Homo-oligomer: A and B are copies of this chain.
Amino acid sequence: MTHVEELTKFLSIPSVSAQPEHAADVDRCADYLVQKLSSLGFSAKKYRTDIHPIVVAHSPHVEGKPTVLIYGHYDVMPVDPLSEWKSDPFAAEIREGRIYARGASDDKGEIMAHILGAQELIAELGSLPLNVTYLFEGEEERGSESLQELIKDPAMQKELACDVIVVSDTGMAAPDVPSFSYGLKGLCCFELEVHGPKMDLHSGIFGGAVANPITALCEMLASTHDENNHVTVEGFYDGVADIEDWEKESWKRVPGMSDAELAELTGVPSLRTEKGFSGAECVYARPTFEPNGISGGYEGEGSKTVIPTHAIAKISCRLVPGQDPVDIMRKVEAHFKKVCPPGITMKFTMQHAGDAYMSNPHSPFGKAAQKALHDTFGNPPVLVREGGSIPVVASMSKILGKDALFLGLDLPDSRIHSPNENMRLDIFEKGIAMAKSLLLLMSEVKA
């Protein structure tokens, strides 16, 4: 099977972790990985959990060589709105040098690049020159609850013991400019539901007398930002460090990350950033507060003049080092309680949370990783921080006591989490070459 055929097969499994109706698909996807890795001589195992399984696989032990833990996730985001996809999200289609499917870049394409890199190395050398442990989970897109739980188990900590953690679930600046990330944002997701009258009310017979839950929800959400787009939640920025001057300087040179380029890429007339910060600075290093969904009242055709019983918003905050996700959610809840108008009762529900993370880009393994990127892509990697979050990585790094290094292959136009998610085929092939090079270079590092 060609590399692309292998990827296409992997992408055809609709492993959407957030939607119960896909639970069996997620499980099937884990089985596929166990089977594939076993065929390469790994001892691969599927760990059942209360939600979705976790796959752990070890290469045959090589004495005196370092152990690299390679983490990825085989679950994917929901696909809706399906109507905006140009092709079936789970029947990968190749158009103009890109493969289009949910998970193509986040994160199945990168998992497959690592697996195929190892496969080629085994084919060339007969075996891997170091110890590789793959850790692939099925809940990253919904909070990594099970893995967070599993790594508390000392037996699992022993099984995952390593010298360095490699994560390929992040972005790269441009096709010829690899990125080496030394920071990840944290995340907390929560819901705010507001309740008003006990039944939908006629907006004429009761309008003006009773608080409208939609109006109340809008007022409460609008109250979270001031006119400078600073988040107004009390204590939200406590512990947030200033951006270093060298970071500001280097980020100005990251391809595609100028304000003009970001506006062009996203198709907006202009950016809307926190006052005093560039788009790149906000994405890499400033905490954010974003409603991801809102719903209430009549959403059908025509009009229906009701005051609805309730309205709900799904919200997530991206956090930076110094912020504790649960503490932030408590502060947000307190803010909403303070601004909740009369006649309205609110329900605040914490969903999942993950810490922000920063690593040392200049360790021996860090240097090896940067060289692998440089050798493969022909240019030195830019040093950036991620706007995205991999909640479980911070925990793993802390528990296992090792650095996590981020070598990402998502391009800014990979449309991850969006309709028409894709990966460039040339980047996929380079990803395979980078994975090979990475294992070779790391096998020389004295653990």
Q: Which of A270, A388, A418 has the largest number of chain B CB atoms within 10 A?
A: A418
- Of the candidate stretches A4-12, A239-247, A300-308, the one touching chain B is A300-308
**A321 CB-CB contact with B under 8 Å:** no
Q: Which residue of B lies closest to A142 (CB)?
A: B302
CB of A67 within 8 Å of the partner chain: no
Known: A78-B298, A282-B208, A292-B303. A318 touches B221 (CB 8 A): no
Chain B residues within an 8 Å CB radius of A269:
342-343, 345
Given A207-B283, A306-B418: A298 touches B80 (CB 8 Å cut-off)? yes
A162 at the binding interface (Cβ < 8 Å): no
Q: Pick the residue among B80, B209, B316 that contacts A203 (CB under 8 A).
A: B316
Scan A260-304; emit 1 where CB is below 8 A from any B CB, else 0.
001100111111111001011011001010111111111111111
Main secondary structure of the interface of A (DSSP, over half): loop
Q: Flag whether A386 is at the interface (Cβ < 8 A).
A: yes
In the complex, the answer to whether A305 meets B292 with C-beta atoms within 8 Å is yes
In the bound complex, what is the Cα–Cα distance between A302 and B23 (angstroms)?
A: 13
Query: What's the minimum C-beta distance from A224 to chain B, rounded to whole angstroms?
Result: 8
| B80:A300 contact, CB within 8 angstroms | yes
Q: How far is the CB of A414 from chain B (nearest CB, A)?
A: 9
Question: Are A271's CB and B210's CB within 8 A?
Answer: yes
The yes or no answer to A387 lying at the interface (CB within 8 A) is yes
Q: Does A204 contact B (CB under 8 A)?
A: yes
Instruction: Flag whether A206 is at the interface (Cβ < 8 A).
Output: yes
Band of interface residues on A: 35 or more
B208 near A18 with CB under 8 A, answer: no
User: Contact: A199 with B419, CB < 8 Å?
Assistant: yes
Residue numbers in B under 8 Å from A187 (CB-CB): 204, 305
Q: Output the residue of A297, A302, A419 with the most chain B CB within 10 A.
A: A302
Residues of chain B contacted by A205 (CB below 8 angstroms): 171, 283, 387-388, 410, 412, 416
Chain B residues positioned under 8 Å from A295 (CB to CB): 294-296, 299
In the assembled complex, A144 has its CB within 8 A of some CB on chain B: no
Contact A304 B418 (CB under 8 A): no
Minimum Cβ distance to chain B for residue A410 (Å):
8
A218 touches B212 (CB 8 A): no
- Give the docked Cα–Cα distance between A399 and B144 (Å): 67
Q: Does A1 have its Cβ within 8 Å of any Cβ on chain B?
A: no
CB-defined A-B contacts under 8 Å, sample of 15: A18-B300, A18-B301, A18-B304, A80-B300, A143-B303, A189-B305, A196-B268, A200-B419, A209-B279, A214-B294, A215-B291, A292-B305, A294-B295, A294-B311, A305-B316
